[in-house]
Chain A
Amino acid sequence: ELTQPPSVSVSPGQTARITCSGDELPKKYAYWYQHKPGQAPVAVMLKDSERPSGIPERFSGSSSGTTATLTISGVQAEDEADYYCQTADVSGTYVFGPGTKVTV
């Protein structure tokens, strides 16, 4: 099971940090997805800290112990969305966090 804060509010140009906690995270990678209403989700961070091609440099990720963190530096209005962390369970299944609504 993964836990995330329900919401994060940030002013344009500031830094948003979204945490994801789970007992599996010391052993498993965390992935992050951005989801805007009515659109397809988009992967914004892979394997804790790898930014996929096409994702702006203001997105970064890290992980330490049982907590993974997605950081958005210099937040822009277009970053307003729901963000979900995800990991693989030891049983071969997958789990998403409950999501964090980022309001700019």
Chain B
Amino acid sequence: EVQVEESGGGVVQPGGSLKLSCAASGFTFSDSALHWVRQASGKGLEWVGRIRSKTYNSATEYAESVKGRFTISRDDSMRMAYLHMSGLKTEDTAVYFCSGMIGDAFDVWGRGTRVTVSS
């Protein structure tokens, strides 16, 4: 079965750091781009960033709202992707989804992991 599963969410103070993980199975992970998308409570989906496959040098792109604070990495041997978040702000509070791009679309999604930034 094609699936991804996020983990690592929790409560963190403003200015703090957190690392989210995304475990993938059922598709050729090493050939796929991995994205992170978030959804604040009552709001819509917001694209956070992407890491491309090794074929494209694992290049990363980020939304302006997180650039310089968030970093995406991947470990193809473990079929894992990560979202390293630092300098967290209250407005980063959201459910964070991992999505695998097998073709050109966000083809496979997890159920998300909740991040709360609060003092």
A interface residues, Cβ below 8 angstroms from B: 29, 31, 33, 35, 38-43, 46-47, 52, 82, 84, 86, 91-99
Contacts and interface: CB of A to CB of B under 8 A. Distances in A.
B112 A31 contact: no
- Which 4 A/B pairs are nearest by Cβ-Cβ distance? A40-B109, A99-B44, A94-B47, A96-B45
A91 B106 CA distance: 18
Nearest to B44: A99
A39 B45 contact: no
B61 A93 contact: yes
B26 interface: no
Interface of B: 35, 37, 44-47, 50, 61-63, 97, 99, 103-107, 109-112
A82 B50 CA distance: 23
Given A31-B106, A93-B61, A93-B63, A40 B44 contact: no
B109 A41 contact: yes
Contacts of B104: 29, 31, 46-47
Contact of A86 (B63, B106, B110): B106
B45 A99 contact: yes
A93 to B, nearest CB: 5
B47 A93 contact: yes
Contact of A96 (B46, B50, B61, B103): B46
Given A92-B61, A93-B61, A97-B44, A43 B107 contact: yes
Nearest to B108: A40
Contacts of A97: 44
A44 to B, nearest CB: 10
Contacts of A91: 61
Given A93-B47, A96-B45, A40 B61 contact: no
